[in-house]
Chain A
Amino acid sequence: MQALYEERRRRIEKTIALEPVDRVPAAFMGMAFAPRYMGMSIADFCAVPENRTEVTLAAMDKLGADVWDGINKLPCGKIVPQLTAAWLSHIATPGKELPADSLWQVQETEVMKPEDYDVILDKGWPAFLEGYYPRVIDVDELADMKAWVRDNIAHVVQRCRDHAYVPIAYGGTATPFEYLCGGRSMGRFFIDLYRDKDRVRAVMDHMLPYMIREGIQAAELSGIPAIWVGGWRSASSLLSPQIWDEFVFPYFLELVNALADKGIVSVLHLDQDWTRDLERFKELPAKMCLLNTDGMTDLRKAKEILGDHMAIMGDVPAALLYAGTPDDIFKYVHDLIRDVGPSGLILCAGCDAPINARPENMEAMAAATREYGQVMAGP
């Protein structure tokens, strides 16, 4: 198992380094799909951190232990507090506010008020967060999650090794944009970017070093030299170029550069369509990023523009995994590997395979990867 793990780790490393590979590596990503597929309630998945780890590994085994080289993100710790910390929003939890077998959901409301910008500037980001968290989560739950991760992360990494699955990244950070957008709500925050831009910029400038530190600490904690750098509400398709150029990319650049200086790869986990601004991504450090998209960014374009600069991870779309047929999946995977691979591509569900992805489609994704990843990469 150890030899297989090393073989897979090298394959993924080569892919990120844009070197030739013997086959296209595949990564599993299906946080809520895994428990549904294995018959576990989402409430149980959320309540017991060990469940998250074990049911994810079990789902990967069942789909095809020979297929997956790795897992997009280490399945470590309770998901709801982690999402709360990333979104700065209350997360409705299955088994609490939601039925036991429904999906957790971000409640996007205006929790952070305009006057909080001044609090951040006056007291600093860490002090602000301390006062803010009780608005969105039981702080004991958050502390428990952090303590559990600290105490158990080495074990979770080992569990992945036991199954010969390489955790590509652990933990994450994001640009200040994402945290503020989560706290203020997208509706209010986008208006702030027009009405209150100087104050927002000052807050972002203050916050960025903390976002960098968070990323470095995550990598140090896990020992995995890659973290997620999220982009969900700062996509090109959502923002005017002026706003994107001013409030998004400069922060991405500084964040990713700082991580790269520490030898940390940024898994750019990008929701929505970023095609318009792919050219700018050439400014990010070469071979230190993994462009991880959700099916909306044009990956053919990405390959054309960034093919010699960063690897790509994606992007079988959630809607296809739900509404498509196994034949559709086979075609999608075939075409993706043909057009975007074989080197510099890690095959993965776009963003996250949904809870109600058809199992036969997930199995088809595994089977198609097995078939086309080998053949098309050649000897």
Chain B
Amino acid sequence: MLEQLVKALAELEEDRVLEIVRQELDCGTEPLSILQACQRGMTEVGSRFESNEYFVSDLMMSGEIFKQVGVLLEEGLKSASQVSSGTVVIGTVAGDIHDIGKDIVVNMLKSANLDVTDLGVDVPPARFVTALQETNASVLGMSGLLTLAFDSMKETVVAIEEAGLRGRVHIMIGGGPVNGDVCEVVGADSWGADAQAAVRLAKTWLDVGAQT
């Protein structure tokens, strides 16, 4: 049945996914196992996105389904302990209030079993620094749709350097007009054209971090 759940989520069959989750819970299946099946479904969604079979709207729909599954599993997961693959701090930078792209990335990171500290929009550099200190996260994602955001990204990188955190924090940026040139100007480590790229970067960095 859990294989069917993986497939149903990958096919974005909302009603079917929720039906299976309820059935599994009724049968006494561990909520953590159900969650992991859904995470596999989300991984398949990500793969289809990368192969141009799925598009942003499909990512959003999968995120919506995953969120609902989370609500159904919330109670049962309280006592379960799943070891997170790492922590990512993320936010839309100061002066920019766009959150659509950031929210898609947050959903995809969460479904990839990462802890995400989402600081929201219009986040000043100092708040990014504080969050990195508080969470001890080693990955930061900065989002921005406006070119004005690039200046804020640059200022945030400087603030992280001044706080002495740059050596342990990998920084990725994303958002409509971001590209390699912008990444260089801003001083980030890398950039992503889409949510799946963000997941890939974060996992790569966190895997490497875990090995060192």
Question: Does B100 lie within 8 Å of A186, measured CB to CB?
Answer: yes
Q: Are A194 and B12 in contact (CB under 8 A)?
A: yes
- State whether A319 touches B56 (Cβ < 8 A): no
Q: State whether B95 touches A108 (Cβ < 8 A).
A: no
Min CB gap A163→B, angstroms: 27
**A190 at the B interface (CB under 8 A):** yes
Which residues 81-123 of B sit at the A interface, judged by CB distance below 8 A? 95-100, 103
Binds B, one of A201-209, A237-245, A285-293, A333-341: A237-245
Point out the residue from A191, A194, A355 that lies within 8 Å of B147, measured CB to CB.
Answer: A355
Inter-chain contact A105/B57, CB cutoff 8 Å: no
Number of interchain pairs (Cβ within 8 Å):
85
- Cross-interface CB contact of A355 among B61, B148, B176, cutoff 8 Å: B148
Q: Does A96 contact B (CB under 8 A)?
A: no
Which of B146, B176, B182, B184 touches A103 (beta carbons < 8 Å)?
B146
Residues of B within 8 Å of A169, CB to CB, are: none
**B147/A357 in contact, CB under 8 A:** yes
- CB pair B54–A319 under 8 Å, yes or no, is no
* Cβ contacts A314-326/B at 8 Å (1 or 0 each): 0001111111100
B150–A322 touching, CB < 8 Å: yes
Taken residue by residue from 226 to 239, chain A's Cβ proximity to chain B (1 for < 8 Å, 0 otherwise) reads as 00000000001111
Chain A residue nearest to B101 in the complex (CB): A186
State in angstroms the CA–CA spacing of A317 and B181 once bound together: 12
Q: Does A152 interact with chain B (Cβ within 8 Å)?
A: no
Is A102 in the interface zone, CB < 8 Å from B? yes
Q: Does B44 contact A (CB under 8 A)?
A: no
Q: What are the 3 closest A-B residue pairs judged by CB atoms, nearest first?
A: A354-B147, A319-B177, A238-B56
Query: CA A112 – CA B137 in complex, angstroms?
Result: 37
Q: How large is the interface on B (under 10, 10 to 19, 20 to 34, 35 or more residues)?
A: 20 to 34
Q: Is B10 an interface residue (CB 8 A)?
A: no
Q: B residues within 8 Å of A by Cβ?
A: 12, 14, 54-58, 60-61, 64, 95-100, 103, 146-148, 150-151, 176-179, 181-182, 184-185
Distance in angstroms between the alpha carbons of A232 and B93 in the assembled complex: 22
Which of the residues A92, A191, A319 comes within 8 Å of B60, measured between beta carbons? A191
A107 beta carbon closer than 8 Å to chain B:
yes
Shortest Cβ distance from residue B45 to the other chain A in the assembled complex, whole angstroms = 12
B58 and A356: CB pair below 8 A? Answer: no
Partner of A108, one of B58, B60, B98, B177: B98
Known: A185-B100, A187-B100, A356-B147. 19 other contacts (CB 8 A): A92-B97, A102-B148, A103-B148, A108-B99, A191-B64, A194-B14, A194-B61, A236-B55, A238-B56, A295-B177, A318-B177, A319-B177, A322-B150, A322-B177, A323-B181, A324-B181, A354-B147, A354-B148, A356-B148
Judge whether A237 and B55 touch: CB under 8 Å. Answer: yes
Interface pair B100/A323, CB less than 8 Å apart: no
CA distance A319 to B151 in the complex (A): 12
